[in-house]
C-alpha cells in the first residue's frame, strides 16, 4: 500500500527502528527493493531523484511503483530525494508521490526556510510528508574543505523545524554522499544534542559504507530514516561486470540483469535487518 512519509517515520520513531530509503532508477532496482521489503515484511521508502526522473521518465517510474503499492500490503513511500527544482516537486506531487525531501541546504538560511516551508505546505495539501535538510551532506571531495561549516547546528535546527514545520529533518553530522571515505566519522555528540532539542524524526543521508555499529548507534540516537544509494549502485554494477565476464556470449538483457537484481534484493534484505525494520509492516 502507498503510505505517507511522515506516518511511516512517526511509527519508526515510536518503535525505535529506521526505515530504509533506497534509491532506484530502473525497473530491476525497483523490483529488487520491493521484493526485499515484501519478503522481510518491512515498510520501505523508494527514493527517486531528479536525475532518475530525467533518465526513466516521471510518469513511467511513478506508475510502476504505485502499481506495486496497490498489490502489496507493506507500506511503500514514493519519495522525491534531494528535490531542488520546485517545478519538479509540483510534478511529483501531481503523480502521487507521498514524500518530498526538499534540499535547500545550499541556499541561504532565509531562503532554505522560506522554500522548505512552501514545499511542506504543498506536500501536505497533496497528502504527502515533507523532509528538509539543515547543514550540508556533501560529497567526500567537498567534505574535506569545510567539515565543521557543513555540520547541522543543534540550536539552529530547533528554529528551522519551528519555522518550516517539516515532518523530518536530514542532519549533517559527518556523513557524506558517494563512496565511503576514511575521513568520514559521525559526530554522535552532535546527533544527541539535536535529538534532545528536536522532536521530529531525524534522517541520515550518505549512509552507504557506514559501519553497522555506527548505523545501530545512530538509530539508538533518533535516526528514523536511512538513505542508501551508492551501496546499491556498487552491488548492481559489480555483479553485472562479473556476469558479462562469465558469460560473454549472452545477449539477452534479462539474463544479464537478473543476477544484478538478485544481488540488490539480498543487499536490501541485509540493510532492512540492520535497520531493525523487518516485520514492522503494519
Q: Which residues have CB under 8 Å from 111's CB, separation 6+?
A: 104
Is residue 227 domain-resident?
yes
Looking at the domain assignment, is residue 282 inside a domain? no
Cell readout for 240 is 553485472
- Domain assignment present for 281: no
Nearest to 184 by CA among 202, 152, 203, 207: 207
Range of the domain at 146: 5-275
DSSP 3-state assignment of 104? coil
Is 81 catalytic? The answer is: yes
pLDDT of residue 102: 98
Do 126 and 98 touch, CB atoms closer than 8 A? no
At 142 the pLDDT is 54
User: How many domains does one find in the chain?
Assistant: 1
Q: Which of 6, 38, 59, 81 is catalytic?
A: 81
Residue 143, pLDDT score: 52
In a domain, 280, yes or no: no
Question: Each residue's pLDDT tens digit in the chain (282 positions)?
Answer: 999 999 999 999 999 999 999 999 999 999 999 999 999 999 999 999 999 999 999 999 999 999 999 999 999 999 999 999 999 999 999 999 999 999 999 999 999 999 999 999 999 999 999 999 998 776 555 555 555 558 999 999 999 999 999 999 999 998 776 666 656 789 999 999 999 999 999 999 988 889 999 999 999 999 999 999 999 999 999 999 999 999 999 999 999 999 999 999 999 999 999 999 999 997
Residue 174: give its domain's CATH number. Answer: 3.20.20.70
Q: What is the pLDDT of residue 181?
A: 60
Amino acid at each position: 500500500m502507498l503510505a505517507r512519509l511522515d506516518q511511516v517515520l512517526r511509527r519508526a520513531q515510536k518503535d525505535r527502528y529506521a526505515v530504509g530509503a533506497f534509491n532506484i532508477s530502473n525497473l530491476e532496482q525497483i523490483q529488487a527493493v520491493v521484493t526485499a521489503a515484501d519478503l522481510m515484511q518491512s515498510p520501505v521508502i523508494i527514493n527517486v531523484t531528479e536525475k532518475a526522473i530525467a533518465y526513466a521518465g516521471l510518469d513511467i517510474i511513478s506508475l510502476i511503483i504505485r502499481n506495486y503499492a496497490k498489490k502489496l500490503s507493506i507500506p511503500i513511500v514514493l519519495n522525491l530525494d534531494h528535490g531542488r527544482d520546485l517545478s519538479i516537486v509540483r510534478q511529483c506531487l501531481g503523480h502521487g508521490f507521498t514524500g518530498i525531501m526538499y534540499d535547500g541546504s545550499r541556499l541561504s538560511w532565509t531562503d532554505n526556510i522560506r522554500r522548505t516551508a512552501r514545499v511542506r505546505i504543498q506536500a501536505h495539501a497533496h497528502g504527502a510528508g515533507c523532509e528538509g535538510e539543515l547543514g550540508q551532506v556533501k560529497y567526500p571531495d567537498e567534505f574535506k574543505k569545510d567539515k565543521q561549516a557543513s555540520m547541522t547546528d543543534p540550536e539552529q535546527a530547533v528554529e528551522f523545524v519551528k519555522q518550516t514545520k517539516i515532518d523530518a529533518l536530514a542532519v549533517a553530522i559527518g556523513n557524506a554522499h558517494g563512496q565511503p571515505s576514511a575521513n568520514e566519522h559521525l559526530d554522535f555528540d552532535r546527533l544527541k544534542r539535536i535529538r534532545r532539542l528536536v522532536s521530529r524524526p531525524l534522517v541520515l543521508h550518505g549512509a552507504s559504507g557506514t559501519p553497522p555499529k555506527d548505523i545501530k548507534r545512530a538509530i539508538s540516537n533518533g535516526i528514523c530514516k536511512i538513505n542508501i544509494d551508492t551501496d546499491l549502485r556498487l552491488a548492481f554494477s559489480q555483479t553485472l561486470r562479473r556476469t558479462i565476464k562469465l558469460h560473454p556470449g549472452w545477449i539477452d538483457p534479462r539474463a544479464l540483469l537478473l543476477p544484478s537484481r538478485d544481488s540488490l534484493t539480498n543487499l536490501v534484505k541485509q540493510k532492512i535487518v540492520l535497520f531493525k525494520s523487518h516485520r514492522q509492516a503494519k
